[in-house]
């Protein structure tokens, strides 16, 4: 089994090195997701669009991105627990939503008054 895993890892590294797969990394879990790079599909982008995108000034730190989103009235979609810890806000100070207390239901005993023959029990002696 370990040798199969070793062969798989070397195969994946070869695919990455040759550019036969695209590698995207999840920022929260640091897992790599591999997508096939199909050579039949050729994507061309105009130089004007490239220059327009490169001209956009974006914050380097993700905390800055979160602040900008909050200023614009948007809520960040990513898990910010790690970023809160890095910013110095202890997770224990974040208020937890209160759970509603369950009411105990008062069960009432119902009898089928319309079926009296079923309710007559005889006790064996």
Q: For 27-60, what is each residue's pLDDT tens digit?
A: 677 788 888 888 888 878 899 999 999 998 887 7
Q: Would you say residue 125 lies in a domain?
A: no
Q: Is 34 helix (H, G, I), strand (E, B) or coil?
A: strand
Supply the mean pLDDT for the chain: 76
pLDDT at 44: 87
Q: Would you say residue 7 lies in a domain?
A: yes
Asked if residue 80 and residue 58 are part of one domain, the reply reads yes
30 sits in the region (left: phi over 0; alpha: psi -120 to 50; else beta) called: left
Q: Find the domain containing 1 and state its range.
A: 1-39
Asked if residue 54 and residue 24 are part of one domain, the reply reads no
Asked if residue 77 and residue 59 are part of one domain, the reply reads yes
Q: Would you say residue 79 lies in a domain?
A: yes
Which of 27, 22, 17 has its CA nearest to residue 81? 27
Mean of pLDDT values over 11-32: 82
Q: Would you say residue 53 lies in a domain?
A: yes
Asked if residue 71 and residue 56 are part of one domain, the reply reads yes
C-alpha 112/C-alpha 110 separation (Å) is: 7
pTM of the shown model: 0.33
């Amino acid at each position: 089994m370990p040798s199969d895993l070793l062969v798989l890892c070397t195969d994946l590294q070869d695919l990455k090195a040759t550019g036969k797969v695209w590698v995207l990394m999840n920022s929260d879990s640091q897992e790599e997701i591999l997508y096939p790079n199909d050579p039949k599909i050729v994507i061309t982008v105009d130089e004007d669009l490239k220059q327009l995108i490169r001209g956009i000034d974006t914050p380097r730190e993700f905390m800055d991105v979160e602040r900008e989103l909050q200023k614009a009235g948007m809520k960040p979609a990513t898990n910010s627990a790690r970023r809160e810890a890095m910013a110095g806000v202890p997770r224990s100070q974040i208020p937890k939503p209160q759970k509603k207390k369950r009411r105990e239901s008062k069960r009432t005993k119902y009898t089928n008054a319309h079926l009296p023959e079923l309710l007559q029990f005889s006790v064996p002696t």
